[in-house]
Each structure stands twice: as structure tokens, then as C-alpha cells.
Amino acid sequence: MGEKVRVEFPFDVVKTIGIKNFDSEVKLLTAIELYREEKVSLGKAAEIAELSIREFLYELRKRGVEINYDLKEFRRDLKTIEGLQ
């Protein structure tokens, strides 16, 4: 990733919510929403969340988020797999 953007939350809000890994959770939730709205690919969303694609898919499934996987992505993944052989 290139440049980063910093987002600030009031500490009392973070404390009230009680999320231990607040930064990680915000990244994950943002990535999920961007993916759900089809603004980023699965790979980019996983990168934003700082997770592997497998871990990100698990998080999507856990939250009942439908996976957007079209023919174009399938063909790109197939080329990648063929290149690994």
C-alpha cells in the first residue's frame, strides 16, 4: 500500500465500545463494507484488513456477507494458478 490516512476517534468512544484491537477492527469493517459495495476487489479488501484472502473470506462468511466473485476474477485467478505450476 502507498500513503496512509489517519482517522481519529474520541478515546471515550473507543473505551465505551470495548473493542480490544480497535485499529484492526476498524480496518476489517471498512474493508468489508468497501468489498460489499464492490468498490474494491477481494484481494484489495484483504490487504486493507491486513489479512490473507483466506482469513478475509472467513470473516465475510462469519458475518454473512455474500462473496462477489465474477468470471473476470476467476480467469485472473486461473492464470495465476497456471503460472505457479
In order of their start, the domains of the chain are 11-84 (1.10.10)
Q: Among residues 11, 50, 5, which one has the least CA distance to residue 27? A: 50
Q: CB-based contacts of 19: which residues, under 8 Å, 6+ apart? A: 25
- Please check whether residue 36 is in contact with residue 28, taking contact to mean a CB–CB distance below 8 angstroms: no
Question: Residue 8 — very low, low, confident or very high, per pLDDT cuts 50/70/90?
Answer: confident
What pLDDT, on a 0 to 100 scale, did the predictor assign at position 34?
Answer: 97
What pLDDT, on a 0 to 100 scale, did the predictor assign at position 11?
Answer: 86
Q: Is residue 14's pLDDT more than 90?
A: no
What pLDDT, on a 0 to 100 scale, did the predictor assign at position 30?
Answer: 97
Query: How high is the mean pLDDT of the chain?
Result: 89
Q: Within a 13 Å sphere around the CA of 21, how many CA atoms are in the beta-carbon half?
A: 7
Q: Is residue 72's pLDDT more than 90?
A: no
- Please check whether residue 73 is in contact with residue 41, taking contact to mean a CB–CB distance below 8 angstroms: yes
- Please check whether residue 60 is in contact with residue 32, taking contact to mean a CB–CB distance below 8 angstroms: yes
